[in-house]
Amino acid sequence: MSLDPRSKGRRRPRTARARIGVVVSSYHGELTQVMLASALAELGRSGIVEARIVPAPGVFEIPLLARELARRKDIDAVLTFGLVLRGETTHDHWVAHGAVTGLVQASLETGKPLALGILTCAKLAQAKARARPKGREVARAALDALEALRLLRRSRK
């Protein structure tokens, strides 16, 4: 299954009943809201009409909130959205690294997909150009991961 947003022949996974959580950073909210809207539209095209949305103050807090959502029995996958812009120091590197490491750990702990939608850009213009496609890609990635898990678990029976 292709995650390429330009892919015409991509089939949609069988996940219309998936229960989705979303953690979205309030920091750079004008762009994280674009990512969120794009993701929700993609979920809607797959038959998912509702998602539980939790705001995070910033990117560094996303893994903790995503893990808590993923621990819920009524959540199958979690989408995450944030933005880290390069600064004059290495702070951006450590924030992004901490968030990604935390999301991977939370996904492995819970056995649920936690889809990474944290943009790391040098300039705000780059983030503006990438925000809409990133939301769509993250939603597709989560749905594809749910479908892969469903097939894997079905094959174990």
Q: Which domains does the chain carry?
A: 20-156 (3.40.50.960)
pLDDT band, very low/low/confident/very high, at 39 (cuts 50, 70, 90): very high
Structure tokens, 12: 């949609």
Residue 5, pLDDT above cutoff 70? no
Residues β-bridged to residue 139: none
* Catalytic pick among 28, 91, 93, 97: 91
Is 97 annotated as catalytic? Answer: no
pLDDT band, very low/low/confident/very high, at 1 (cuts 50, 70, 90): very low
Residues 117 and 154: beta-carbon distance below 8 Å: no
Distance separating alpha carbons of residues 41 and 27, to the nearest angstrom: 22
Which has the closest alpha carbon to 99: 57, 53, 59?
A: 59
User: pTM (2 decimals)?
Assistant: 0.86
The predicted structure's pLDDT at residue 148: 87
Distance separating alpha carbons of residues 56 and 81, to the nearest angstrom: 9
Question: Which 3 state secondary structure label does DSSP give 21?
Answer: strand
